[in-house]
Copies of this chain bind each other. A is one copy, B any other.
Amino acid sequence: MARTTGSHSDITGPRIRAAALTLFARYGFAAVSMRQIAKEVGVQAGALYNYTPDKQSLLVELMRDHMVELLAAVQDDDRAAPVVRLERFVRFHIGFHHERPDAVFIAYMELRNLEPENFAEIETLRRRYEGVLERILDAGMARGDFAVADAKVTTWAVIAMLTGVNTWFRSGGRLSLDRVQDQYWQMVRRMVGSVGGSV
């Protein structure tokens, strides 16, 4: 026998990406075989190649989609006060990353499995995202609202701290997402030397 039932072009594609996302996040790109992905989808390994030229492309596509989504979702209104912009950024980052832990995990862990040109592409997107925060910090410094020693270093510090939430926070635990966002916003506000508001 050949195919089992029906034609599933528009169904199989997304299912392959979904399976790859889950499996890559759980076991790592290198540890997951094309046959495992196919099995999860309910298809033979060869069929995957109707949707991706090779395994590497599957990974790149997942990472690129994630980063593009991230950049589309972050919105920074530079007419607002820097403190407001910063608070929005902090809450956004935590919320957005919390909703897609697998994609976040892959985007941070599988960079070394990218071929050079793919790595460069993803890295560019990441830097663009960092740039959003850096501009907020610059604006705050220009207005005297923030007092940070180095905008770049502070950017990396804040993002590392915020992304770290994903390693321990799960819904339904001791703390709600809102509460976590509150706490991290408090920490970030203090970090940048913002004196406005209650402590």
- A: residues with CB less than 8 A from B are 26-31, 109, 112-113, 147, 149-150, 153-154, 156-161, 163-165, 167-168, 175, 180, 182-184, 186-187, 190-191, 193, 199
Contact = CB atoms under 8 A, between A and B. Distances in A.
List 5 tightest A-B contacts by C-beta distance, closest first: A160-B164, A30-B31, A30-B30, A161-B161, A190-B190
A124 to B, nearest CB: 16
B112 A26 contact: yes
Contacts of A112: 26-28
Nearest to A195: B199
Contact of A167 (B158, B160, B175): B160
A187 to B, nearest CB: 5
Nearest to A161: B161
B153 A183 contact: yes
22 contacts: A27-B30, A27-B113, A28-B30, A28-B112, A30-B30, A30-B31, A31-B113, A109-B109, A147-B199, A149-B183, A150-B175, A153-B175, A154-B187, A156-B164, A157-B164, A157-B184, A158-B161, A159-B164, A160-B163, A160-B164, A161-B164, A190-B193
